[in-house]
Structure 1
Amino acid sequence: MTQRMKLWNFFQMESQSLKPAFGPAVHVDQMGDAPSVIVVCEHASNRVPAHLDGLGLKDETLTRHIAWDPGALPVAQGLSQQLGAVLVHGGISRLVYDCNRPPDAPDAIPERSEVFEIPGNTALSDAARDARIAQVYRPFSSMLTEQIGVHRAHLRMMVTVHSFTPIFRDQMRAVQIGILHGDDDRLAQAMMQSIPADLDMNVQLNEPYSAADGVAHTLNRHAVPYGLPNVMIEIRNDLIESTAQQANIAQVLAHWVTTAEAAMSERNNM
């Protein structure tokens, strides 16, 4: 074991003995009195609790896509405002714990992300892992369950909002918007069949990720059991860098999702 690893293990043991606060792991913004849509943004924040000392990474690294989904939260907020939705969004970096993964997923607390080693996640003790599950994943998951229960009478669908990096492993991604689904593909298929005619973007189904990559956890755990039509929307983050871009995409998505949901409902009633 290297000296660096020994220091991290010591730090983890000290942290557990002091039971440091992680701070808020989840936030809720209700945009309407009776929301019919629940919007989720799991990777909204790149915040690392102070006692984790940046997970051993440079500050600049924590601004990169590995730590969060840049631009996703403003889009999710704009979409929620347009739809009068309730928005549930994460308050801690996915490097601490990825709230779109179950506790038994290998990448829930990644030791490596893309080309970056994550020293603060290496050889975690069971106690340190359990603390992250208890203070990050459980509060987020419980809040989603609570909000669905509170608004269940008028909820019609769940939409999760993410962003992805335009270049991955030195390859440019042509896809600009990905429409993803888990076990329930109704809303995703309806969106693919109702792509706005004036949307000059490369839209693909289940790209650049799919359920096979483990990204459908929130949809399958929190929407499917309630019969809520659901979709995960991935936006290439170079398209949502500015406030104007974020507002525009939010407006496009609001109209698109509403149109798709109406078409899906109409087919179901035929």
Structure 2
Amino acid sequence: MSLSDSNALIQAVEVSNPEGSGAALILCEHASNHFPAQFGDLGLQPADQNSHAAWDPGARAISLHLSQALDAPMVASQVSRLVYDCNRPPEVASAMPAVSELIEVPGNRDLTDDQRHQRVDMVYRPFCDAVSDVIKARNAAGLQTVLITIHSFTPVYYGQHRAVEIGILHDDDTAMADAMLANAPALPHRRVERNQPYGPQDGVTHSLRLHGLAHGLANVMIEVRNDLLRSPQEETTMAEELLTLIRPAMATLAQQGGDNA
């Protein structure tokens, strides 16, 4: 099967509200646990295909809600991160992990260079190209852009409970994260922390660096504990809570007159 034939069989990326003119761009790299037919199920059991290892439960729903509320474009991967993790560069092992926490991924063992390149070309590059296209269009239209990536995380990791409920993550550019954390008292019932449960040292800020920093955009990554996202109502509630942090933070950046607020 040629690459062009393979591409015809997979829709790797979803772009919602591309014409949105609000001052945000929403990314959701782990929106789906879909395993395209040409890759099979990677030898995973059904429970593992539905687990947090395969996707970020609730992240897409929150992303769509934010997209609508902020009139923002949303770009989301439509392929499981176990096929390719769009928040990782091609050269790292975690882009196509053979093990995710305690879950082994047989179909990712001993991948050839050609197999890795195929996944990069079919999953990662379409996602990156879609993000770049939206950014270029917004720049051409003279629109300000804050890049916001949405994720969820498991409450128990390697047997350890995580108390944090909302993580506000950043890399070198801290402006948006700082502004959001300054408003954290607006959610007194939530435990909101900086660079938790992950941080730059864990390699999770690839999208912030590639799509945010490299384009000079203010940026932030939001992590929500997925046991708080067990129903559509909980997803909506959390999205609205996040907006109480995002909206004033974006206003703060705009007032500061930053180039990208």
Match of residue 94, structure 1, among 68, 77, 81? 81
Cα deviation for residue 116 of structure 1 reads 1.2
Q: Note closer, same or farther for the CA distance 1:204–1:28 as it changes in structure 2 (3 Å cut).
A: same
Q: Is the 8 A contact 2:186 2:244 kept in 1?
A: no
Max Rg structure: 1
Match of residue 81, structure 1, among 62, 68, 73? 68
For structure 2, the residue ranges without an aligned partner over 5 or more in a row are none
Q: Is the 8 A contact 1:38 1:158 kept in 2?
A: yes
Q: Is the 8 A contact 1:31 1:81 kept in 2?
A: no
Q: Is the 8 A contact 2:18 2:134 kept in 1?
A: no
What's the TM-score, normalizing by structure 1? Answer: 0.90
Q: Note closer, same or farther for the CA distance 1:191–1:17 as it changes in structure 2 (3 Å cut).
A: closer
The alignment status of 1:185 with 2:159, answered yes or no, reads no
Aligned to 1:160: 149
For structure 1, the residue ranges without an aligned partner over 5 or more in a row are 1-14
Q: Is the 8 A contact 1:48 1:54 kept in 2?
A: yes
Cα deviation for residue 117 of structure 1 reads 1.2
Q: Is the 8 A contact 1:68 1:93 kept in 2?
A: yes
How much identity, in percent, do the aligned residues show?
Answer: 41
Aligned letter for 1:221?
Answer: L
What's the TM-score, normalizing by structure 2? Answer: 0.92
Helix, strand or coil for the counterpart of 1:54? coil
Q: Is the 8 A contact 2:173 2:218 kept in 1?
A: yes
Q: Is the 8 A contact 1:38 1:155 kept in 2?
A: no
Provide the rounded CA distance (Å) in 2 between the counterparts of 1:38 and 1:124.
34
The alignment status of 1:237 with 2:226, answered yes or no, reads yes
Q: Is the 8 A contact 1:148 1:155 kept in 2?
A: no
Q: Is the 8 A contact 2:22 2:72 kept in 1?
A: yes
The alignment status of 1:106 with 2:89, answered yes or no, reads no
Aligned letter for 2:163?
Answer: A
RMSD of aligned Cα (Å): 1.8
Aligned to 2:25: 38
Per-residue CA distance 1:175-233 (angstroms, 9 max, x = gap): 00000001211101111111142441111100000011111111111111222111000
Helix, strand or coil for the counterpart of 1:55? coil
Q: Is the 8 A contact 2:96 2:108 kept in 1?
A: yes
Helix, strand or coil for the counterpart of 1:158? strand
Provide the rounded CA distance (Å) in 1 between the counterparts of 2:222 and 2:14.
20
Aligned to 2:47: 60
Equivalent positions of 1:82-231 (< 5 A) are 82-152=69-139, 153-231=142-220
Aligned letter for 1:252?
Answer: E
Aligned residues: 255
Helix, strand or coil for the counterpart of 2:46? coil
The alignment status of 1:26 with 2:13, answered yes or no, reads yes
